[in-house]
Structure 1
Amino acid sequence: MTVKEIREALGAKFICGEEFQDREVHSACGADMMSDVLAFMKEKSVLLTGLCNPQVIRTAEMMDVVCIVFVRGKMPDETMIEMAKEREIVLLSTGHRMFTACGILYEKGLRGGAPCQ
């Protein structure tokens, strides 16, 4: 799935990174705790979160996240947007709640990692 397909499926708006809309995304993770992202995220993923602080961008960079989708209409501040631009991370915002957004992407064929043991 591409970033463009994710944006369309979620009715999301680009915050930055529109020039990278053709990048491939291989899996997804929905989390507000960055420790969960570090533990369970795969590379070339999309992160769905309602957390709006610079740690989200730093964590995404460490985990090779292609795109961050802010759920519930959340919007990052200018500092976060600049950080994402420097790291070439796409930022999107959708009005969907996290559960719904994850379900939409799952329905479209995007999967997460293996079940937790």
Structure 2
Amino acid sequence: MNITSIAKILDAEILCKAENMDLEVFSACGSDLMSDVMAFVKEQVLLLTGLINIQVIRTANLMDIGCICFVRGKKPTQEMITMAEEQNIILLSTKLPLFIACGKLYNAGLTGGGVRNI
């Protein structure tokens, strides 16, 4: 599923990197705990979170996550947007709560994934 489709499903606002909307993702991870995100092992993943701090961008960069969607109408700071642009990470924002956003994407065919065995 590409980011354009995801943005439509979630009625999401595109905050940066709109030129990369054809990026394909194959799974999604919904979490406010970046340690849980780091345990998520899938490639080409969408991160859904309500956490608004610079660690979200750093974690996405470290884990090669190409798109972050902030839920509950949350908006990243300008510092976060600038860092995401530098790292080619697409940022979206939806008014939906995390559970509903994940459910809509799942119903549309985007699945989750496993966790790393530690």
Q: Which residue of 2 aligns with 1:93?
A: 93
Q: For residues 37 and 65 of structure 1, what CA distance do their matches in structure 2 show? A: 10
- 1:86 partner letter: E
Q: Which residue of 2 aligns with 1:66?
A: 66
1:75-108, Cα deviation, whole Å (9 max, x unpaired): 0000000000000000000000000000000000
Are the aligned partners of 2:39 and 2:116 in contact in 1 as well (CA < 8 Å)?
no
Q: What is the CA distance between 1:114 and its match in structure 2?
A: 2.9
Give 5+ residue unaligned stretches, structure 2: none
Give 5+ residue unaligned stretches, structure 1: none
Q: What is the CA distance between 1:116 and its match in structure 2?
A: 8.3
Q: For residues 14 and 40 of structure 2, what CA distance do their matches in structure 1 show? A: 25
Q: For residues 55 and 114 of structure 1, what CA distance do their matches in structure 2 show? A: 22
- 1:26 partner letter: F
SS in 1 for 2:66: strand
Are the aligned partners of 1:42 and 1:63 in contact in 2 as well (CA < 8 Å)?
no
RMSD after superposition: 1.4
SS in 2 for 1:28: strand
Q: TM-score, normalised by structure 1?
A: 0.96
Q: For residues 40 and 116 of structure 1, what CA distance do their matches in structure 2 show? A: 6
Q: TM-score, normalised by structure 2?
A: 0.95
Q: For residues 30 and 41 of structure 2, what CA distance do their matches in structure 1 show? A: 9
Q: What is the CA distance between 1:10 and its match in structure 2?
A: 0.2
Runs of 4+ in 1 over 4 A off after TM superposition: none
Q: Which residue of 1 aligns with 2:7?
A: 7
Q: Which residue of 2 aligns with 1:46?
A: 46
Q: Which residue of 1 aligns with 2:22?
A: 22
Are the aligned partners of 1:30 and 1:47 in contact in 2 as well (CA < 8 Å)?
yes
Q: For residues 115 and 23 of structure 1, what CA distance do their matches in structure 2 show? A: 23
Query: What percent of counterpart residues are identical?
Result: 55
Q: For residues 109 and 79 of structure 1, what CA distance do their matches in structure 2 show? A: 33
